[in-house]
Amino acid sequence: MEQKKKKLISGNNFIPVCEPLLEGNEEKYLLECVRTNWISSQGKYVEEFSKKFAEFCGAKYCVLTTSGTTALHLALVALGVGKGDEVIIPAFTMIATAFAVIYTGATPVLVDSEPETGNIDPLKIEEKITKNTKVILPVHIYGHPFDMDPIMKLARRYKLWVVEDAAEAHGAEYKGKKVGGIGDIGCFSFYANKIITMGEGGCVVANNEKLFQKLNMLHDLAHSPQKRFLHEMVGFNYRLTNLQAAVGLAQLEQVDKFIKARRRNAELYNYYLKGIEGLRLPIEKKWAKNVYWMYGVLLEKNLGVGRDELMEFLAKEGIGTRAFFEPMNRQPVFKKIGLFKQEKYPVAEDWGNRGLYLPSSSGLTEEKIKHIAEKIKKFFRRKR
């Protein structure tokens, strides 16, 4: 199987889960950085991307970071999160969300998902709030916004901060507003598989000026604004380079095209996969604009075949897939440090057992989507 897979890749027939689309001004802007020697963490592309990405999110301020994970960590530190505090996160998420909380010395507290989108269930959050809770940190899973209004109301009632993990949701909308700019802080990732990429990178966006100043200072080793090399708190070297921002700006110039492509992918998948008994397709809530960072499907229960069998079959056909996230309560690393023992999150665990996502690149063609759908139909016909 491994030899066949390599042959498919080298023959350019393998369809990966995701690959970047670099067909704008990326090369032009990068060459300008090199020719002008502006290759470190200062330069016009850092400034321009920060300004334009904040505007894109409907936020006033943006601080660029080295990754989405460091963006989350920076946000929590800026909000004063530390040892003895608790941060509420989804049980179903990428592990970086939980790691960012661990880095601060605080304790992540898990909440189960709602079954339609896999996002955090707002009705299950209040029961997890204690006197130690400081932040609610929900995630816009796979590009579909979580239900923000009840979470924001709950946070205001209990005087808690809301940090949006929007790593997977560039341009997604909640009731007509871009995600990331609705909570107190929004965090994004620009990893290679994201809708906007820099290869690696991230950012935080905010509307509060004092909070922005603290975020900006902390990400640059906490240099004092009054005197450089004077430090009153522990800071971090989370600065992004002008080279990366140059790629990011070129990507941001194309973001409408990318989002349109992802939504078109979803429409085509929905069309070609409809009617397959036992395969549940993703939805879009009436109040949401789903950007379909990844097109995820669930195999219904009691089919007699499992998710892993479908993934293995598609791999043999030259089609890349990924299993859904493994819930946080089932992660060995957290059990080793005494977290989430005996805790159960039925919806998150069910999604982790039955879900996978299909190739979702912005450059995916209808021909390839049709081909993928035909192979999935072939799998289900064989298993009947």
Active-site residue list: 194
Q: How many CB atoms lie within 10 A of CB 104?
A: 21
* Three-state secondary structure of the chain: CHHHHHHHHHCCCCECCCCCCCCCCHHHHHHHHHHHCCCCCCCHHHHHHHHHHHHHHCCCEEEEECCHHHHHHHHHHHCCCCCCCEEEEECCCCHHHHHHHHHHCCEEEEECECCCCCCECHHHCHHHCCCCEEEECCECHHHCCCCHHHHHHHHHHCCCEEEEECCCCCCCEECCEECCCCCCEEEEECECCCCCCCECCEEEEECCHHHHHHHHHHCECCECCCCCCCECCCCCECCCCHHHHHHHHHHHCCHHHHHHHHHHHHHHHHHHHCCCCCEECCCCCCCEECCCCCEEEEECCCCCCCHHHHHHHHHHCCECCEECCCCHHHCHHHHHCCCCCCCCCHHHHHHHHHEEEECCCCCCCHHHHHHHHHHHHHHHHHHC
Beta strand pairing call for 107-111 and 86-90: parallel
Q: Spell out the residues 6+ positions from residue 9 whose beta carbon is closer than 8 angstroms to its own.
A: none
Instruction: Mention every residue, 6+ apart, whose C-beta is less than 8 A from residue 239.
Output: 40, 41, 64, 65, 66, 219, 220
Distance from CA of residue 100 to its chain's centroid?
A: 14
Residues written for the chain: 384
